[in-house]
Amino acid sequence: MTRLRTLLSLFALTSSMQVACTPEPSQVESSPALLERPTSEDETREGPVWLFVGDSLTAGFGLPPDESYVSVLERSLQREGRALTLRNAGVSGDTSAGVKRRLAWLLKRPPEVMFLCIGANDGMRGQPTEALERNLADIVTSAREAGVKQVILMGMRLPPNYGAEYVKRFEAVYPSVARRLKVPLMPFLLEGVAGEASLNLRDGIHPNAEGHRRVARSLQAFLHAEGLLAAHEPR
């Protein structure tokens, strides 16, 4: 029943996500999250930086910045005594091609870890899955070449109205890239949140504050389970 409710909700609201996720022309260049460039002194004081690159799901569409899952996760990790600074580089409407275009700018000061949380808009627009896979692989490779120590891939899923074959190919992209480039993969960023009315805004697509808290908890559990916090033991 839960799965059916999830699928029906995603099916009904696909078009609303396409509208809600379309950015203004200047949004990519003027996003406050992207303009917060730390100085070397800031980075030394704040500790290692983890960068989250994504779209409206990461940006925290419809919510204050401090309620996005990135901000929630940062506070939770700091409560554990881990000296980490998490930066949100989510831009509503962004695609894998958009991330490729802005990646060099984002990595002028390479973070220790980069979370790649992109692709939902590629799928919603029906773009070729081959292009998505190529873009994700190029982003991972470029991040490594820029000095990022670890890239972590966040999987995405699509509603069924895009056709069983396309949905299957789309969802297979993420494990394929993860295997080929040997990067950790969280299978689905919105696991347990997508399609749940009580955890999403009225559009039924973007998580509300409680939905973002759920995403943060799931991501933190994933980081622990995969041993990705071992280098940052509590002080």
Of residues 9, 94, 96, 206, which has the active-site annotation? Answer: 206
Say whether 66 is catalytic. no
Name the DSSP letter for residue 174.
Answer: H
CA distance 155 to 187: 5
Beta carbons within 8 Å of 68's beta carbon, 6+ residues apart: 58, 59, 60, 88, 90, 212
Say whether 224 is catalytic. no
Supply 18's token pair: 């396409």
CA distance 128 to 231: 38
CA distance 119 to 172: 12
For residue 89, give the nearest of 146, 161, 21, 32 by alpha carbon. 32
Say whether 198 is catalytic. no
CA distance 137 to 225: 24
CA distance 47 to 77: 13
Name the DSSP letter for residue 37.
Answer: P
Residue 19 burial (10 A CB sphere; 0-12, 13-18, 19+): exposed
Of residues 9, 31, 56, 68, which has the active-site annotation? Answer: 56
Catalytic residues: 56, 203, 206
